[in-house]
Chain A
Amino acid sequence: QVQLVQSEAELKEPGASVRVSCKASGYTFTSNYDINWVRQAAGQGLEWMGWMNPNTGNTGSADKFEGRVSLTRDVSTSTAFMELTNLKSEDSAVYYCARGRFDTWGQGTQVIVSS
């Protein structure tokens, strides 16, 4: 079955960067499904961050994250990556990857930003 498995939780200091991975299985990674990234702060709603086309590597992001988020992939391992730089305490959240029109989600990766 289609599955997205994300990397483990991270604890980072303010100003650092975090890289979250999302390994896809059960379908062809480079087929016609983008990988989207969504985050959710504690007790809050879902916030879309950006998308990546695994076939072309093309990406786009929400204005809020422009210049701070980098979306990449490794086709050989069917893995997508989201890197967020210059972390602030407000970036503490659960980060999800999701396929295409969000039909399949990863289990989430908790990122805590604290000194």
Chain B
Amino acid sequence: SSELTQDPRVSVALGQTVTITCRGAILRYFSAAWYQQKPGQAPVLVMSPKNSRPSGIPDRFSGSDSVTTATLTITGARADDEGDYYCNSRDTSGSHPRWVFGGGTKLTVL
């Protein structure tokens, strides 16, 4: 399959560590990127491909890849980290390449 699967909801206690996962066969060939979206706002890139953190993103955000699974980890979650998180990768298996987004994970900080 060329889809990306994410858990719909994840929660974490304030100050604890949370992992958000993204699974898909296409991750074997193209590293994932991660985006955070807050209500009423455009998404923001929080993790570039190959787990490179964009300028301005706190170092409590980290990423890792394992064959067909990508993981975004938030260490010491803050209330401001609440939002929807989407992974994204590229499907090159068809007649022409296309970008694919996961269904999103809603993160709640308790």
Give complex CA distance A106, B96 in Å. 25
Given the interface pairs A45-B86, A46-B86, A60-B96, the reply to whether A103 lies near B101 with Cβ below 8 Å is no
Tell whether A13 is near chain B: CB-to-CB under 8 Å.
no
Tell me whether B33 and A102 are in contact (CB under 8 A): yes
Tell me whether B98 and A105 are in contact (CB under 8 A): no
Give complex CA distance A51, B42 in Å. 18
Count of chain A residues with a beta carbon within 8 Å of a chain B beta carbon: 20
> Smallest distance from the beta carbon of A10 to chain B beta carbons, Å?
17
Given the interface pairs A96-B42, A102-B43, the reply to whether A48 lies near B48 with Cβ below 8 Å is no
Tell whether B45 is near chain A: CB-to-CB under 8 Å.
yes
Q: What residues of B have a CB within 8 angstroms of the CB of A62 in the complex?
A: 98
Measured CB to CB, the nearest residue on chain A to B98 is A62
> Smallest distance from the beta carbon of A73 to chain B beta carbons, Å?
19
> Smallest distance from the beta carbon of A3 to chain B beta carbons, Å?
12
Given the interface pairs A96-B42, A103-B54, A105-B44, the reply to whether A48 lies near B101 with Cβ below 8 Å is yes
Interface bin, chain B: 20 to 34
Q: What residues of B have a CB within 8 angstroms of the CB of A51 in the complex?
A: 99
Tell whether B24 is near chain A: CB-to-CB under 8 Å.
no
- A interface residues, Cβ below 8 angstroms from B: 36, 38, 45-48, 51, 60, 62-63, 96, 98, 101-108
20 contacts between A and B (CB under 8 A): A36-B99, A45-B86, A45-B102, A46-B35, A46-B43, A46-B101, A48-B98, A48-B99, A48-B100, A51-B99, A60-B96, A60-B97, A96-B42, A101-B33, A102-B45, A102-B88, A103-B54, A105-B43, A106-B42, A108-B42
Q: Besides the contacts A45-B103, A102-B33, what 17 more A-B pairs have beta carbons closer than 8 Å?
A: A45-B86, A45-B102, A46-B43, A46-B88, A46-B101, A48-B100, A51-B99, A60-B98, A63-B98, A96-B43, A101-B33, A101-B45, A101-B49, A102-B88, A102-B99, A105-B42, A105-B44
